[in-house]
Amino acid sequence: MNILWGIIISYFIGSIPTAYLFGKIARNVDIRQHGSGNVGATNVFRVFGKCPGILVLVLDILKGVVAVAVIPDLLGVADILPRILMSVAVVCGHNWTCFLQFKGGKGIATSLGVLIGLTIRIAVIRPVLLWTVLTWVICFLISGFVSLSSIISAVFLPIFMIFTNQSFLVILLGIIFCVFVVLRHKPNIKRLLSGQEPKTSIFSNKKPKISQKM
């Protein structure tokens, strides 16, 4: 029963639409009507700028950390299987939030939070986190595309897990996250192939202009 409660709580934590809430509370703007229309940190960077983007990114990461490193311990179900189940639940909550008609973000930041949370409790996963983040950073610096960097990192995630001899459950989690990321980025993949995907500059100090949804 505690595992079930953990899954439910993790889903609702993931479902908190931080990007949407920031837009409504801080700017009285529905972020779904601007930029890419996505309810995630990348679109916050595009629509509102660097500082709001960083804030939403950190909050989305924290959702994953709390669901994996805190909730299981509080409920006394700290084995690997409950953590894996709650990992999937919190990312599902972010991707398909019940607060926005089951239309959410793409799960990158929350998945990163899950990996961070797992490394807090399972030290052998730390190399996976390191290599996944490095892969994302290198791809982004080369291409300038957040979406492409996220897709490539997600594809390599289970590969890194296999090569670092992670357990079957951890590798399975990596495969699930990889599938989630690719499926959630299908529109981005189409735009990348057609040359219409916008680049994102997270280092620019230029104030963005709020534009209508693409």
Crossing angle for the helix pair 108-121 and 126-143, to the nearest 10 degrees: 150
Q: Is residue 213 part of a domain?
A: no
List Cβ neighbours of 21 (8 Å cut-off, separation of 6 or more). none
Query: Quick check: 206 pLDDT over 70?
Result: no
pLDDT digits (tens, 9 = 90+) for 20-54: 999 999 989 999 999 888 899 989 998 999 999 99
pLDDT at 211 over 70: no
Q: How many domains does the chain have?
A: 1
Say which residues have a Cβ less than 8 Å from residue 101's Cβ, sequence separation at least 6: none
Mean pLDDT of the chain: 92
Gyration radius of the chain over CA positions: 17
In a domain, 96, yes or no: yes
In a domain? residue 179: yes
| Residue 82: predicted pLDDT | 94
pLDDT in tens, 108-120: 999 999 999 999 9
- Whether residue 57 is contained in a domain is answered as yes
Q: Could you identify the residue written with the tokens 């779904």?
A: 32
Average pLDDT of span 59-73: 96
Cα 125-89-117 angle, rounded to 5 deg: 30
167 token code pair: 């357990």
Q: What's the pLDDT band for 199 if we cut at 50, 70, 90?
A: confident
Range of the domain at 31: 2-194
Cα 125 to Cα 116: distance, rounded to the nearest angstrom:
9
For 101, other C-beta atoms within 10 Å of its C-beta total 8
Residue 98 lies in a domain: yes
Q: What is the pLDDT of residue 80?
A: 92
Q: Is residue 212 part of a domain?
A: no
Residue 208 has pLDDT above 70, yes or no: no
Whether 7 has a pLDDT exceeding 80, the answer reads yes
